[in-house]
Structure 1
Amino acid sequence: MTDPRFTGGVSLGTGIGLRVPHYRHILSEKPAVGWFEIISENYMVDGGRPLEVLDRILEQYRVVQHGVGMYPGNAGGLDFDHLRRLKRLIRRTNTPWISDHLCWGSVDGSMSHDLLPIPFTFESARKTAENLRIAQDFLEIPLAVENVSSYAEFHDDEMTEWEFLAEVVEAADVGILLDVNNIYVSSFNHGFDPMDYVNFVQPERVAQIHIAGHSKYERFIVDTHDHAVIDPVWHLYARAIERCGPVATLLEWDARIPSFEEVWTEAKKSEQWRGSVGNPEAGDHVAA
């Protein structure tokens, strides 16, 4: 497959999610953001303000699509009506690649509207990879799959999550959207070393990285995207960059969204952490 990490041989650098509270600021102030990520399903509509704003954004910025409704882990296969609408949006945005989550979420047409975990078995890896191959061929664009945050494990698991991810992407020949915050969340909830995960991932498959904040409770962590990125997640990010190179990085902030300036300032910390790679002392001085 075409390497989805670069467009025209140039890394996209740092971006943030395009969110409604920031529409007015972006359109009026035209901030110097590298790129915006959109949730595909928010714009898979026939008209209205979302598409009007999106078209204005597209006049000035690169936009990359990120989905939440493909559900490649569904045992019953893919929703081709969803894929057809997704393909229309792809043609509108000219996104260099698309991404979605390594999860399942619907049964017999009933949607959970959630990112449900897949059992880490060879059979589920085979079926998920088959769905991803079909989706990538149908959409005619490079596809990357994101590791999700996890709050439950299956007794029938036959491998670790990172082994499962590797099994799927190799069989499907797709990229990885590596979410280092999700790795940290799952590692806390399930008691594994998050650095083992980052060190196992195939660096040539990583098309994009997500960073985000989360909420910590007494017994578990929830991937809420409503806080700044914490220092341990930044260190996972630095290791991922060390292994994968300066791939496109996206800060997610989806709840209790602060001002555009605060979100963009947090996102730009990734540039400092990228600069700290190879200089361990540099990262110690980056506020997180």
Structure 2
Amino acid sequence: MHTDPAASTPVGIGWRQPHYEQLLQTLPALAFLELHSENFFADGGAPLAVLMAGRERYPISLHGVGLSLGSACGLDSWHLDRLAALVERVEPVRVSDHASFARVPAAGGHAGPHASDLLPLEFTQTSLDVLVTHVQQVQERLRRPILVENLSAYVGWTELEGDSMAEPEFFNQLTQRSGCGLLLDVNNLVVNARNRGAHKCEAALQAQAWVDAIRPGSVGEVHLAGHAELPGIVIEDHGSRVSAEVWQVFTHAIRRFGPVPALIEWDTNVPALEVLLREAEIARQLMMDVMAPVPA
């Protein structure tokens, strides 16, 4: 009996507009496709038609960038309404967004315009309380748990409150208190370590220590992507192949958490579909190697 490799090694790719038609024509062996939720908020039109065509052939994971879960001014009701309608229509296997804020209060204390960026949170009890409240509100509306992604950040917060906590502990408390899962972006871990001054090998070791501090059973998906090295800074641009250091951390994460769904993200300088599929095959092979039985 032929076994689909995607069945036991759940690896998918981010499905972007340049690959819509080719993917539907060739139907490569993938465990799922991930799309950005906000691109499909309209009630109809060509983008939604493409999404539903993909939904007929693959499980869909919806990944958002606009909920602004950490904003103290609260959630945008319109955004949540559109997300809820999309989730009801698509019935995705996973729904996710980021541990970030992107809105500040407008007149009357309501959520203001979106900043078009994912801004980092303080890892404090106050920030955690806000995040837990908003995650629970989203989950109640969607009637399902969501995943929350750890962020890449190029600036940090000064410790003002005196109750700052380590980032992994922040996420451990978030998943325990809210019932959500963690979308573990291992590229972000490496990028952050590099921007703190670590060289490549040391960055991978720091990222692995971050992974080791996360509560087992809380990770619902892993993101893999490339990053750009510029003078004095490393940028999470999702515009190149996965680096050796990120593959190293991914392998470590699979050893710790098991074969959780893994995604190849590529959002800028989008290459030929075959390039993404080769990256997905690397992830699949690493997962198979890690999970292979040890000879007696």
TM-score normalised over the length of structure 1: 0.90
Q: Deviations over 1:83-139 (max 9, x none)?
A: 111011011111122100000001132110110000111111111111111111111
1:86 partnered with 2:89 = no
Q: Match for 1:168 among 168, 174, 178?
A: 174
Please give the alpha-carbon distance, in whole angstroms, between the structure 2 residues aligned to 1:12 and 1:54: 23
Q: What is the aligned partner in structure 2 of residue 5 from structure 1?
A: none
Q: What is the aligned partner in structure 1 of residue 11 from structure 2?
A: 14
Q: Match for 2:271 among 240, 243, 258?
A: 258
Say if 1:258 and 1:191 are closer, same or farther in 2 by CA, change over 3 A.
same
3-state DSSP class of the match of 1:23?
A: helix
Q: What is the aligned partner in structure 2 of residue 207 from structure 1?
A: 220
Q: Match for 1:115 among 104, 107, 118?
A: 118
On the 8 A contact 1:11/1:248 being kept in 2, the answer is no
One-letter identity of the residue aligned with 2:68: Y
List runs of 5+ in structure 1 lacking aligned partners. 1-9, 280-288
On the 8 A contact 2:145/2:179 being kept in 1, the answer is no
Please give the alpha-carbon distance, in whole angstroms, between the structure 1 residues aligned to 2:26 and 2:157: 48
Please give the alpha-carbon distance, in whole angstroms, between the structure 1 residues aligned to 2:245 and 2:291: 17
Q: What is the aligned partner in structure 2 of residue 40 from structure 1?
A: 37
List runs of 5+ in structure 2 lacking aligned partners. 1-6, 107-111, 199-205
Say if 1:276 and 1:11 are closer, same or farther in 2 by CA, change over 3 A.
closer
Q: What is the aligned partner in structure 2 of residue 31 from structure 1?
A: 28
Deviates more, 1:96-105 or 1:163-172: 163-172
1:129 partnered with 2:129 = no
Q: What is the aligned partner in structure 1 of residue 192 from structure 2?
A: 186
One-letter identity of the residue aligned with 1:175: G
Deviates more, 1:190-199 or 1:19-28: 190-199
On the 8 A contact 1:126/1:171 being kept in 2, the answer is no
Please give the alpha-carbon distance, in whole angstroms, between the structure 2 residues aligned to 1:254 and 1:241: 24
Please give the alpha-carbon distance, in whole angstroms, between the structure 2 residues aligned to 1:191 and 1:64: 34
One-letter identity of the residue aligned with 2:283: S
Q: Match for 1:58 among 26, 50, 55?
A: 55
Please give the alpha-carbon distance, in whole angstroms, between the structure 2 residues aligned to 1:127 and 1:272: 40
Q: What is the aligned partner in structure 1 of residue 256 from structure 2?
A: 243
One-letter identity of the residue aligned with 2:213: F
One-letter identity of the residue aligned with 1:274: M
Please give the alpha-carbon distance, in whole angstroms, between the structure 2 residues aligned to 1:141 and 1:217: 40
Aligned-pair identity (%)? 37
* Deviation, structure 1 residue 204: 0.5
Please give the alpha-carbon distance, in whole angstroms, between the structure 1 residues aligned to 2:151 and 2:87: 23
Q: What is the aligned partner in structure 2 of residue 177 from structure 1?
A: 183
Please give the alpha-carbon distance, in whole angstroms, between the structure 1 residues aligned to 2:275 and 2:88: 32
Q: Which has the larger radius of gyration?
A: 2
On the 8 A contact 1:27/1:57 being kept in 2, the answer is yes
5 Å-filtered alignment, 1:139-158, equals 139-156=142-159, 158=164
Please give the alpha-carbon distance, in whole angstroms, between the structure 2 residues aligned to 1:71 and 1:138: 16
On the 8 A contact 2:184/2:221 being kept in 1, the answer is yes
* Deviation, structure 1 residue 35: 1.0
Higher normalized strand content (fraction of residues): 1
Q: Deviations over 1:216-263 (max 9, x none)?
A: 123221000011001110010011101111000000001111111111
Deviates more, 1:156-165 or 1:137-146: 156-165
Please give the alpha-carbon distance, in whole angstroms, between the structure 2 residues aligned to 1:11 and 1:116: 36
3-state DSSP class of the match of 1:65?
A: strand
3-state DSSP class of the match of 1:114?
A: coil
Q: Deviations over 1:127-158 (max 9, x none)?
A: 11111111111111120100011101111171
* Deviation, structure 1 residue 278: 7.1
Please give the alpha-carbon distance, in whole angstroms, between the structure 2 residues aligned to 1:23 and 1:97: 20
* Deviation, structure 1 residue 12: 7.0
Q: What is the aligned partner in structure 1 of residue 233 from structure 2?
A: 220
